[in-house]
Amino acid sequence: MVKFFSIIIILSLALFQETAAGSQDVVVIQSLRVKPYDDALLGFKSALPGRIKKLLLPETDGADAVRAVREARPGLILAIGAEALAKVRRIKDIPIVYLMVLNPHTLLQGEDNITGVSMSIPPEMQFAAMQKVIPHIRRVGLLYDPGKTGFLVKKAQLAARGAGIELMAREVHRTKDVPELINSMKDTVQAFWMIPDTTVVTPETVNFLLLFSLENRIPILAFSGKYVEAGALMSLDINAFNLGKQAGEAARKILSGTHVREVPRIDAKNVVLSINTKTAKKLGIAVSDEVMARARKVR
């Protein structure tokens, strides 16, 4: 009888150890196979090495992805990309960390098992960079669709006041109204801040805005280096690897026993400043050597 109970105890301990080990596993749902997403996953792994199983959404439909996650019974799900987050958010009993999602709040509705790192760069960092490149800046123009980026503009207005900047934010609801609204700002703003709002930013409006910038000597702060390469003065970009590392640090806390509710959703922390030197020269802006030494230069 003693031998029988000893066997039961040994088996129970083995099962417990297996369950505990399994609870440390991570299933990654990735929206696309693209380099920024792959780099973000590498950053995640650098902060949280361990057993990771990756599923690519293009290789499975949403139902299969959710079913595969449930069968794996991981301790945590990493959703890379907005589409991946949209697929797995229906899972309520497993912690979820998102990564490489621009506006996660538009997908989430108060779920308490989801946290993560958005691709948004805090407005405070945006204004600080702007003031380093253009120290005299005081009035900044901005167009936004309230239904898409109203939450960001509210944060930006608070940050602008703290930085001593007057943010002249105007609402726009139709893309065709963008050129007229931009033109109406030419005598009042010293710079224009292009934020990731799909009502405002289209190939046509970007071309118009770049021409507006040169004709009126009004610099543009963009949200991506590709617009700097097209002619915007400057941008702040995320570093995908570092973003992944932030998400990995959050995941490590959760897998160590911290409840998801106690791991706040955060924005990108480490950024890359890009400056178009030709545009700076055309606009008559002399960027300090100290700033240029730390920036990615586009010529």
Tokens of 23: 């609870």
Contact 215, 183 (CB under 8 A): no
- Please give the CATH number for the structural domain made up of 2-118+240-269: 3.40.50.2300
Do domains 2-118+240-269 and 123-238+272-298 share one topology? The answer is yes
What pLDDT shows up at residue 69? 87
For the chain, the structural domain boundaries read 2-118+240-269, 123-238+272-298
| H or E segment to which residue 123 belongs | helix 123-133
Contact 116, 247 (CB under 8 A): yes
How distant is the alpha carbon of residue 206 from its chain centre? 21
Tokens of 245: 């590392």
**Measured between alpha carbons, how far is 8 from 10 in angstroms, rounded to an integer?**
5
What pLDDT shows up at residue 51? 86
Q: Roughly what angle, to the nearest 10 degrees, separates helices 240-255 and 35-47?
A: 40
* Alpha-carbon dihedral sign for residues 278, 279, 285, 289: negative
What pLDDT shows up at residue 62? 57
**149: CB partners within 8 A, 6+ apart:** 103, 195, 196, 197
- Residues listed for the chain: 299
Contact 238, 119 (CB under 8 A): yes
Tokens of 282: 């055309």
- Phi, psi at 144, each rounded to 5°: -155, 150
Tell me the residue type at 75.
Answer: G
Burial (CB < 10 A; 0-12, 13-18, 19+), residue 254, is buried
Other C-beta atoms lying within 10 Å of the C-beta of residue 113: 16
**Measured between alpha carbons, how far is 192 from 231 in angstroms, rounded to an integer?**
13
Q: In a structure prediction context, what are the per-residue pLDDT tens digits for the chain, which is 299 residues long?
A: 444 444 333 333 333 333 333 458 999 999 989 999 999 999 999 999 888 999 888 777 656 778 888 888 899 999 999 999 999 998 999 999 999 998 888 888 888 999 999 998 999 999 999 999 999 999 999 999 999 899 899 999 999 999 999 999 999 999 999 999 999 999 999 999 999 999 999 999 999 999 999 999 999 999 999 999 999 999 999 999 999 999 999 999 999 999 999 999 999 888 999 999 999 999 999 999 999 999 999 98
Give me Rg for the CA atoms of the chain.
23
Other C-beta atoms lying within 10 Å of the C-beta of residue 154: 13
User: What pTM did the predictor assign?
Assistant: 0.79
Angle at 298 between CA 295 and CA 299, to 5 degrees: 135
Which homologous superfamily is 123-238+272-298 in? Response regulator (3.40.50.2300)
**Which DSSP string do the residues of 238-296 spell out, in sequence order?**
E-HHHHHHHHHHHHHHHHTT--GGGS--B---SEEEEEEHHHHHHHT----HHHHHHSE
